[in-house]
Chain A
């Protein structure tokens, strides 16, 4: 070994190791570095339920799915928009007879203003829809329901390097003619996330995370579609 080392040293006086060995070590080091951060996605534990059995609407249904900033101030804009997309997509699939009205059209038809100019909150929806001029607009528009979505994700530490993510999303279904709530659909998901190291002497960083927002959003969309279309849960899935 020593002889080989010496021979190599004599042959290539600049390097203590042959160039091939150096290149090999470099490749190993680079691959070690590039693999040094491993991120593993986990699957979340998802639950859905209805606050009370939502009575599937009969007759022609025309509704709008909205994310209103005042109704759910704890919801980030990206999550709100994702929820509208999930619910709308699943409704279009599960209940093709339902007329889905875009946000701008809804605000113009019912309130005569632009989106964002209405203070839609749990305590203001009833009095607003009870106003004679708005009742008249509801009748003329043919719109029957309004679905307001909201929710948030909490990340709480379990140990110094591990966290638990909780996502809780809701869809509140309102009947426009009566101004009352028909029911609420809830979807929640939880999963862990954290960091650790494996391997000696180089520590390879290992991180795992659980996507809790997307699965709960998909579950919420499917449940709302089931509630509106009146299909049984097993039939829908």
Chain B
């Protein structure tokens, strides 16, 4: 008679004690590659902090408007192909324009939808939607090199569309600001570029507040608003 053979699974080996992995040249190389990739992908970022011009103050418009900041506008980033620095322009632009519109109108309300649909509040005379049309930093400006000054100019153009309460486009216009301050040395090139972006944004915001009444369609719209009140 054969006895049944009891087959048992071989016992699991005890786990080896944890040892830190060696930081060999391969690992070092992969870390370096990852680092280089991160830098080339624009992981170094810089945020300009423009200051709004409050004096001479613009003539205030006695109406309430809505403003819609699109996600594209708020998330706008600029990076020159020469540089690893990404310039975060959307957020500071939204802050600057928020302050500029608050200086221009008696009340500004942020609305969750663009002006192409019905707006939420009935007392708003219209909705303004800002956008960044273009932003650019020039690293080798031939014009400035010829003039013998070390300038790396930047510019920013904001576009604005004013919508009626029914969502029709009333006016659309652009304002451009430039920053052309010379750099004092090579070391402060990025800091200088930041100042130039701040100057460009500030100038563009100044053109918005000081030139708002000069746009013909806006002037007509303001006249309509005034006649409605009367």
Task: Tell me if A77 and B181 are in contact (CB < 8 A).
Answer: yes
Interface residues of A in 168-227 (CB under 8 A from B): none
Residue of A nearest to B191 (CB): A77
A-B contact pairs, 11 of them (CB 8 A): A74-B181, A76-B181, A76-B182, A77-B192, A78-B184, A117-B53, A117-B55, A119-B53, A119-B55, A124-B56, A155-B149
**What CA separation (Å) do A114 and B55 show in the bound complex?**
10
Task: Tell me if B56 and A75 are in contact (CB < 8 A).
Answer: no
Partner of A79, one of B55, B148, B184, B195: B184
Contacts of B53 in A (CB 8 A): 70, 117-119
What 1/0 flags go to B108-128 for Cβ under 8 Å of A? Answer: 000000000000000000000
A71 at the interface (CB under 8 A from B): no
* Most chain B beta-carbon contacts within 10 A, residue among A69, A70, A75, A153: A69
**What CA separation (Å) do A152 and B157 show in the bound complex?**
27
**What CA separation (Å) do A179 and B54 show in the bound complex?**
19
A98 at the interface (CB under 8 A from B): no
Besides A79-B184, A117-B51, 14 more A-B contacts (Cβ < 8 Å) are: A69-B199, A74-B181, A76-B184, A77-B181, A77-B184, A77-B192, A111-B55, A113-B54, A113-B55, A116-B51, A117-B54, A118-B55, A152-B182, A156-B148
Question: Interface size class for chain B?
Answer: 20 to 34
Min C-beta distance of B102 to chain A, whole Å: 14
A127 at the interface (CB under 8 A from B): yes
Contacts of A32 in B (CB 8 A): none
A13 at the interface (CB under 8 A from B): no
Contacts of A74 in B (CB 8 A): 149, 180-182
Min C-beta distance of A161 to chain B, whole Å: 16
Contacts of A156 in B (CB 8 A): 148
A43 at the interface (CB under 8 A from B): no
B183 at the interface (CB under 8 A from A): yes
Min C-beta distance of A165 to chain B, whole Å: 9
Residue of A nearest to B179 (CB): A73
B158 at the interface (CB under 8 A from A): no
What 1/0 flags go to B173-193 for Cβ under 8 Å of A? Answer: 000000011111000100010
B52 at the interface (CB under 8 A from A): yes
The majority secondary structure among interface residues of chain B is loop
Partner of B195, one of A77, A118, A127, A166: A77
Contacts of B149 in A (CB 8 A): 74, 152-155
Task: Tell me if B182 and A128 are in contact (CB < 8 A).
Answer: no
Residue of A nearest to B185 (CB): A78
Task: Tell me if B56 and A127 are in contact (CB < 8 A).
Answer: yes
CB within 8 Å of A: which residues of B?
51-56, 147-150, 180-184, 188, 192, 195, 199, 206
What 1/0 flags go to A114-157 for Cβ under 8 Å of B? Answer: 10111100001001100100000000000000000000111111
Contacts of A157 in B (CB 8 A): 148
Contacts of B181 in A (CB 8 A): 69, 73-77
Contacts of A75 in B (CB 8 A): 181-182
Contacts of B182 in A (CB 8 A): 74-76, 152-153
Partner of A119, one of B147, B183, B184, B206: B206
Interface residues of A in 42-100 (CB under 8 A from B): 69-70, 73-79
Min C-beta distance of B214 to chain A, whole Å: 16
Residue of B nearest to A119 (CB): B53
Residue of B nearest to A116 (CB): B51
Contacts of A128 in B (CB 8 A): 55-56
**What CA separation (Å) do A116 and B51 show in the bound complex?**
6
* Most chain B beta-carbon contacts within 10 A, residue among A76, A153, A157: A76
Task: Tell me if A154 and B56 are in contact (CB < 8 A).
Answer: no
**What CA separation (Å) do A155 and B182 show in the bound complex?**
12
Min C-beta distance of B56 to chain A, whole Å: 6
Min C-beta distance of A189 to chain B, whole Å: 15
**What CA separation (Å) do A116 and B54 show in the bound complex?**
9
Q: List 3 tightest A-B contacts by C-beta distance, closest first.
A: A154-B148, A116-B51, A156-B148
Task: Tell me if A154 and B147 are in contact (CB < 8 A).
Answer: yes
Min C-beta distance of B138 to chain A, whole Å: 16
Min C-beta distance of A118 to chain B, whole Å: 4
